[in-house]
Amino acid sequence: AGTVPMRLGSQFEMIYQSLIDFNAWQAYSESRSMQLCGIGAHSLGALKAAYWLSEEPRSTVKRFVALSPPRLSTSLLLDDPK
């Protein structure tokens, strides 16, 4: 056990890769003649949903609730020795 924190889980996810999942949900709902009317998401999911909504101009989502999204610190991540 050293002083360097363990690197686990969502820390290694690439946010842009979540666009595939959100686009799939939108395509699925459209194929069933449904409309995505809202998204509620927590933590990293909230960050991913916000990113998707900013990147997807065709989105039919009218409401978005972000529950406790993470605050990412670019300087902290850049200064990380690993």
Q: Secondary structure of the chain in the HEC alphabet?
A: CCCCCCCCHHHHCCHHHHHHHHHHHHHHHHHCCCCCCEEEEECHHHHHHHHHHHHCCCCCCCEEEEECCCCCCHHHHHCCCC
Q: What is the pLDDT of residue 22?
A: 93
Q: What is the pLDDT of residue 14?
A: 86
What does pLDDT average to in each consecutive run of 10 residues of the chain (82 residues)? 64 86 92 88 92 90 89 69 62
Q: What is the pLDDT of residue 69?
A: 77
Q: What is the pLDDT of residue 53?
A: 95
